[in-house]
Amino acid sequence: MLILITNDDGYAAKGIRCLIEVAKEFGEVVVVAPDGPRSATGHAITMSVPLRLKQYHADDDGTRYFYTNGTPCDCVKLGTKVVLKGRKVDLVLSGINHGSNSSVSVLYSGTVGAAMEASMENIPAIGFSLCDYAADADFSAAQVYIRKILSRFVQHGFPEFTTLNVNVPKCPLESIKGIRVVRQTQGYWHEDLEERTDPYGGTYYWLTGWLVNTDKGEDTCEWALAHNYVSIQPVQHDLTAHNIIPELKFLEENE
Amino acid sequence: MLILITNDDGYAAKGIRCLIEVAKEFGEVVVVAPDGPRSATGHAITMSVPLRLKQYHADDDGTRYFYTNGTPCDCVKLGTKVVLKGRKVDLVLSGINHGSNSSVSVLYSGTVGAAMEASMENIPAIGFSLCDYAADADFSAAQVYIRKILSRFVQHGFPEFTTLNVNVPKCPLESIKGIRVVRQTQGYWHEDLEERTDPYGGTYYWLTGWLVNTDKGEDTCEWALAHNYVSIQPVQHDLTAHNIIPELKFLEENE
């Protein structure tokens, strides 16, 4: 397998190095990652400035490493269309993100955005996140489950036009109870814009907040993670609220 | 009605001024827009740098105008949580975008991303786009339809937790045949990363491309726009591929 790896925490993050380690067991790995943190960049792409791409390293086994000034989505475009031009990419892996991408965070997530960029073109794609924001987080349990999940998908085949959004709870391996296939937890991000004053008297704001879970379902990502399961949410890219279409037909009348 | 307006082309774009003109007929308007172009920033939010917010203008009728260094989503957060803190926002309008937001462009769109940021918190939200990228595009036909659409929603009520993604074809008002409520056209963005050399010998890339429509349905946004209809796609924020969940249950086995 030819595997393209990216993330949204930047090329130097511990999480991407842990993902690369496992991915190498499954095929040829090429890394194209942002040159610094791009958390919460969602599905953003870069159109206002030119994109740069630089190979900064190669392992003895041939693994090549590139970084770019772009977003995680740009990394997938540059990886498939420039670095690996003319070759068929079999799998795109994104992460391991430092921090959860559950519930509505999936919309803000650069990790998941990059994976969706691939699955929109029907390249199998998985975004991996560990529910621990620490720079030196322990990814060893996540690595065990990534190995397990990749093995199973290689055996069974990947679903078409689908990203797998995998979240791993923050706990030791022996505390993880297993895997749950889940739907997105309904909820919203409660913002707190923290106001501060700079040394020159100017006002600025830091965007902070927390997830408000409005969904008590036991088939959700939040439930699974709270009960020490690894959650896998299949993600698709048709945003249409199909069930609403009939009730909006009044808009078409008397034209 | 208290109406918050933003866009992704920046506060100085013609499109947002045309939207403000119409919106004033429906209530009190407050504008919080990016300080420059933020096209294709999707659902990105700003966590790595502090956010600035500045009121740059007020009309004689009391309409207030702010700009920020943030993304369109940040504008909605700053608008609802800082500028209008404590007041109930009745409607968020985004646009009028210079250029189409049909098919998978909805995922990359800052215009739609901002509207979704509101509808995720159950504030009614509409993103408006004109299929004309020109800075001096003619928004007069779009204004007529925005007035019509807003009037109908005010009369009927807005659907819950839903963004309306409205695209207006590039043609004179008399050529527009009416409104169609549509689903998202299946397709993908074919990228062309144009390679150039800077004056110092360095390589850089411009991200360009075009939409590949793989969907011949007559209930889609692309069909409607190609036949001179205004398209309205209801958009929701649950990305789960619900139909795939049963076939992924093999992942839960033997844990």
Query: What is the average per-residue pLDDT within A65-71?
Result: 98
Q: Indicate the average pLDDT of chain B.
A: 96
- Whether residue A255 has pLDDT greater than 80: no
The answer on pLDDT for B84 being more than 80 is yes
Residue in A closest to B53 by C-alpha: A204
Inter-chain residue contact B108 with A186, CB threshold 8 Å: no
- Across B13-21, average pLDDT: 98
For residue B192, what pLDDT is reported? 87
Predicted pLDDT of residue B253: 81
Give residue B10's pLDDT.
98
Question: What pLDDT score was predicted for residue B152?
Answer: 96
The whole-number pLDDT of residue B255 equals 56
Query: Do A193 and B81 count as a contact with CB atoms less than 8 A apart?
Result: yes
* pLDDT band of A192, cuts 50, 70, 90: confident
| Mean pLDDT computed over every residue of chain A | 96
Give the mutation candidate from A196, A197, A205 for the B interface (greatest B CB count, under 10 A). Answer: A205
User: pLDDT by residue (tens digit) across A151-179?
Assistant: 999 999 999 999 999 999 999 999 999 99
pLDDT in tens, B132-149: 999 999 999 999 999 999
Read off the pLDDT band of A212 (50, 70, 90). Answer: very high
Taking only residues 92 to 131 of chain A, the set having a beta carbon closer than 8 angstroms to any beta carbon of chain B reads 104, 106-108, 113, 116, 120-121
B96 pLDDT higher than 80: yes
- Asked if the Cβ–Cβ distance from B181 to A251 is below 8 Å, we say yes
Residue B211 host element (H or E): strand B203-213
Percent of chain A with pLDDT strictly greater than 90: 96
**Range A90-114 average pLDDT:** 97
- Is the pLDDT at A228 greater than 60? The verdict is yes
To the nearest whole Å, the CA of B222 is away from the closest chain A CA by 14
| Nearest chain A CA: its distance from B140 CA (Å) | 18
Nearest CA in chain A to B41: A44
Q: Which of residues 148-167 of A touch B (CB under 8 A)?
A: 149, 152, 156, 159, 162
What's the pLDDT band for A194 if we cut at 50, 70, 90? very high
How many CB pairs (< 8 A) connect A and B? 223
In this prediction, residue B191 carries a pLDDT of 84
Nearest to A239 among B106, B180, B193 (CB): B106
Residues with Cβ within 8 Å of A201's Cβ and at least 6 positions away in sequence, in order, are none
Q: What is the pLDDT of residue B66?
A: 98
Contact A51 B204 (CB under 8 A): yes
CA distances from B246 to A237, B212, B250 (A): 19, 30, 9
The secondary structure of chain A, three-state, reads CEEEEECCCCCCCHHHHHHHHHHHHHCEEEEEEECCCCCCCCCCCCCCCCECEEEEEECCCCCEEEEECCCHHHHHHHHHHHHCCCCCCCEEEEEEEECCCCCCHHHHCHHHHHHHHHHCCCCCEEEEEECCCCCCCCCHHHHHHHHHHHHHHHHHCCCCCCEEEEEECCCCHHHCCEEEECECCCEEEEEEEEEEECCCCCEEEEEEEEEEECCCCCCEHHHHHHCCEEEEEEECCCCECHHHCHHHHHHHCCC
Instruction: Check CB contact under 8 Å for A41 and B44.
Output: yes
- The candidate with the shortest Cα–Cα distance to B242, out of A191, A184, A115, A177, is A184
pLDDT tens sequence across B170-207: 999 999 999 999 999 999 988 889 999 999 999 999 99
- Distance from the Cα of A248 to chain B's closest Cα (Å) equals 7
The pair of three-digit structure tokens given for residue B143, joined into one six-digit string: 């204004």
Helix (H, G, I), strand (E, B) or coil at B81: helix
Q: What pLDDT does B166 receive? A: 98
